[in-house]
Structure 1
Amino acid sequence: MSASLYNNDILRLAASIPHHQRLADPHASVEKRSPTCGSRITADVRMADGRLAEMGLDVKACALGQASAALMAAQAIGLTAEELAEARDKLTAYLSGESEDLDFWPGLAVLAPARAYPARHPSIRLGFEAIAEAARMADA
């Protein structure tokens, strides 16, 4: 694995995940696991007026998964379930090479070197997948 893949920016993000504590009484909870590496993220959410009002995360992932979860958690509050699903889909499209757009979510450019490592993509997607699904469930 390339040393530049795990740079200081990635490691700093991995060590500073916002909302890194489970919610006591969530509207919905979702656990996502990467079959490739075993990374796991549990997302708890509370919605209000159709928007993400509170979240809690339990992140047990590699540094890339942690960094991605940190970026997601820093910007997700206030978004709708549809907006979170759109971000999840755009991240998937970027990682798979279907899109070049990283402007949809602040800070994701730091993960650009990981695009060349498909085995790391599931871990990078976990936080976005878990929060989008939990928000959809809570909003239903």
Structure 2
Amino acid sequence: MLPEALARQIITDHERHPRGKGEIEGAPHAALDNPGCGDQVTVWVRPLAGRVAEVRFTGRGCAISQASASLMTGALAGKSLDEARALAARYRAMVMGEAPPDPGLGDLVALAGVSRLHARRKCALLAWNALEAALAGA
């Protein structure tokens, strides 16, 4: 697990300077919201030859939901669809407290502390749930 100060720095950086923000015209997408806190996210994914050719997001919300979406776009770029789904499962297990932080998740480990904050788990998983819905529609 990352030191708390470093995790906070990664989350803040991705919230203030999101990567992968924007739409992908014509790509499968899914929009979800978290009515409990008002977070909203839409995820676009362009699969090509069994890989994630591009993934982007739009939305608004708390630092955790926006940082999670930003980190997700970087973590998934170029992965096979099977690798993307496996990464999503590993991330979900970490956020839900079902698995310890996995160094193979890279900077996504910054969100491991969310597992202790039950109300924030939905924030950390919102973009990933939208990704799964977009992939199901692809």
What aligned pairs does 1:62-73 form with structure 2 within 5 A after superposition? 62-73=62-73
Shift of 1:58: 0.5
- SS of residue in 1 equivalent to 2:105: coil
1:10 aligns with 2:50: no
Contact 2:94-2:112 at 8 Å conserved across structures: no
Q: Structure 2 regions of 5+ residues with no counterpart?
A: none
One-letter amino acid of the counterpart of residue 30, structure 1: A
CA RMSD between the two structures:
2.1
For 1:30 and 1:24, locate their aligned partners in 2 and report how far apart those are by CA, in whole Å: 13
For 1:57 and 1:88, locate their aligned partners in 2 and report how far apart those are by CA, in whole Å: 16
1:29 aligns with 2:29: yes
State the match for 2:118 in structure 1. 118
Aligned residue pairs total 134
- SS of residue in 2 equivalent to 1:66: helix
Contact 1:52-1:76 at 8 Å conserved across structures: yes
One-letter amino acid of the counterpart of residue 79, structure 2: L
Cα deviations across residues 60-93 of structure 1 (Å, max 9, x unaligned)? 1210111111111112111233222222222222
TM-score by length of 1: 0.83
State the match for 2:99 in structure 1. 99
One-letter amino acid of the counterpart of residue 12, structure 2: L
Query: Relative to 1, partners in 2 of residues 1:34 and 1:83: Cα closer, same or farther, differing over 3 Å?
Result: farther
Query: Relative to 1, partners in 2 of residues 1:10 and 1:101: Cα closer, same or farther, differing over 3 Å?
Result: closer
For 1:80 and 1:134, locate their aligned partners in 2 and report how far apart those are by CA, in whole Å: 15
